[in-house]
Amino acid sequence: MNLTPLQIQMIFVYMITLIISVALHEWGHAKMADALGDDTPRRQGRVTLNPMVHADPIGTLALPLISAVLMASSGAVGGFGWGKPVQWNPARVKRKWNMWTASILVSVAGPAMNLLLGTLVALVHVVLTTQGVIPPDSPMHRILLFVVTTNFVLFFFNLVPVPPLDGGHVAEALTPYKHRKKWEEYLRYSPFVFLALICIPQVQQIFLIPAQWCTTHVYQLFVSIFR
């Protein structure tokens, strides 16, 4: 397998982007649980932005690297990965928060960090571009755009209501008790739905289309402000 210098560069950019994005995502979960009163993540050292604390050896490093190399050989960059899950105890949150509300807040905190990171990088990107610091055809332009797109993809992907994604936890918390049996029946098929999300390109449009729409419109908004 012969990779060009540009492909090797993009693999490196992808891995760094994924590691940082996953770390911020997991930190969001840990920070929210800690803010709600559960000290479990803090005792386990998870309330930190140190990427290696949140990295899973297989899900954040090995598998994404192998996937990125294989995809780069076909002209694409990307892959699938995950971080080390944050452990927290709903029973330890402050009494003013009920268990289901706490579960929703902790669940959405992770994707919210990806949305925030993508938006902030897009803002910096537009400012640097409009000020002439970064030429539109430069490698840095492509890298920043890739970082933004990746984080918006992570945001919408994790909100898909399929366990073990964050959206699955939110959907479970919002499911009325009278429909719990139907939810439990759905859980039996959720692994197959999850596999479809990561393996079938047509199904991936569920989160790729919103991510592309969000990327386009966030850039348009910032360009209209700083033009």
DSSP labels for 159-200? TSS-TTSHHHHHHHHHS-GGGHHHHHHHHHHHHHHHHHHHH-
State the pLDDT confidence band at 74, using cuts at 50, 70 and 90: low
Average pLDDT (119-148) is 93
pLDDT of residue 3: 81
| Distance (Å, whole) CA 104 – CA 90 | 11
Torsion, Cα 39 42 48 53, to 10 degrees, reads: -130
Condensed to tens digits (0 to 9), the pLDDT of residues 141-181 reads: 999 999 999 999 999 999 999 988 999 999 988 988 888 88
Residue, of 218 and 192, whose pLDDT is higher: 218
Condensed to tens digits (0 to 9), the pLDDT of residues 35-66 reads: 999 999 999 999 999 999 999 999 899 988 88
Condensed to tens digits (0 to 9), the pLDDT of residues 4-17 reads: 888 888 889 999 99
Tokens 């991510």, residue located: 211
- Where exactly are the structural domains of the chain? 1-97, 98-227
State the pLDDT confidence band at 206, using cuts at 50, 70 and 90: very high
pLDDT of residue 101: 93
Query: CA nearest 99: which of 37, 191, 26, 150?
Result: 37
pTM here? Answer: 0.92
Tell me the three state secondary structure of residue 83: strand
pLDDT of residue 198: 82
- Residue 176 phi, psi dihedral angles, 5° rounding: -60, 150
| Distance (Å, whole) CA 12 – CA 170 | 33
